[in-house]
Structure 1
Amino acid sequence: MSDGALELINGVPFLDDGFAPTHLTAAVVAVRQNRAARIGLPNPADPRRWLTPDHACLVRFEASEVPSIPLTQDEDRKVSDSLVRLEEAVPAWAPLLWSLPMRYARIASGESLSASSFWWPQHILLGTETLASDLEMREHVLHEHCHQWLYLIEELWDIDRPEAPTFTLPSGTSNRSPREVIGAAHVAAALIRMYRAVGEKQHIEPLKQYGLGCIKLLESATRYLTPVGTQITQRIKEEL
Structure 2
Amino acid sequence: MIAPTAASPTTAAIGGLQMLGGVPFLDDGFLSERLTAAVAAVRQTHASRLGLKRPTDLWHWLDPERACKARPHAKEVPSSPLSQNERDRISAILEHLAGLVPPWERLLCLPVRFLRIKGSPKTLSASSFWWPQHIYLGQDAFSSFTELREHVVHELCHQWLYLIEELWDIDAPDAPGFTLPSGTKDRTPREVIGAAHVAASLIRMYRAAGEEAHITPLTTYGRGCLRVVGTVAASHVTSVGAQIVSRLKEAL
TM-score band, normalised by the shorter chain? over 0.9
> How many Å separate the matches in 2 of 1:31 and 1:230?
23
For the pair 1:34 / 2:45, whether they are aligned, the reply is: yes
SS of equivalent residue, structure 2 residue 80: strand
TM-score (normalizing by structure 1): 0.97
Q: Could you report, residue by residue, the CA deviation over 1:86-105 in whole angstroms, capped at 9, with x for unpaired residues?
A: 1121000000001x110001
Q: Could you report, residue by residue, the CA deviation over 1:61-97 in whole angstroms, capped at 9, with x for unpaired residues?
A: 1111111110111000000011111112100000000
> How many Å separate the matches in 2 of 1:8 and 1:81?
33
SS of equivalent residue, structure 1 residue 125: strand
- Structure 1, gaps ≥5 residues long: none
Q: Which amino acid aligns with 2:41?
A: A
* Matched-pair contact (CA < 8 Å) for 1:13–1:19: yes
* Matched-pair contact (CA < 8 Å) for 1:68–1:105: yes
SS of equivalent residue, structure 1 residue 156: coil
> How many Å separate the matches in 1 of 2:29 and 2:158?
19
> Aligned-pair distance for 1:132?
2.6
Matched with 1:112 is: 123
> Aligned-pair distance for 1:223?
1.2
> How many Å separate the matches in 2 of 1:117 and 1:66?
8
For the pair 1:73 / 2:87, whether they are aligned, the reply is: no
- Structure 2, gaps ≥5 residues long: 1-10
Runs of 4+ in 1 over 4 A off after TM superposition: none
Correspondent of 2:58 among 41, 44, 47: 47
Correspondent of 2:151 among 125, 134, 140: 140
> How many Å separate the matches in 1 of 2:49 and 2:195?
33
* Matched-pair contact (CA < 8 Å) for 1:85–1:138: no
CA RMSD of aligned residues (A): 0.9
Alignment of 1:1-240 (within 5 A): 1-3=11-13, 4-98=15-109, 100-110=110-120, 111-220=122-231, 221-240=233-252
- After superposing the two structures, state which structure 1 stretch, 181-190 or 161-170, moved more: 161-170
SS of equivalent residue, structure 2 residue 166: helix
TM-score (normalizing by structure 2): 0.93
SS of equivalent residue, structure 1 residue 104: strand
> Aligned-pair distance for 1:109?
2.5
> Aligned-pair distance for 1:163?
2.2
* Matched-pair contact (CA < 8 Å) for 1:116–1:124: yes
Q: Which amino acid aligns with 1:23?
A: R
How many residue pairs get aligned? The number is: 239
Identity %: 59
> How many Å separate the matches in 2 of 1:133 and 1:172?
26
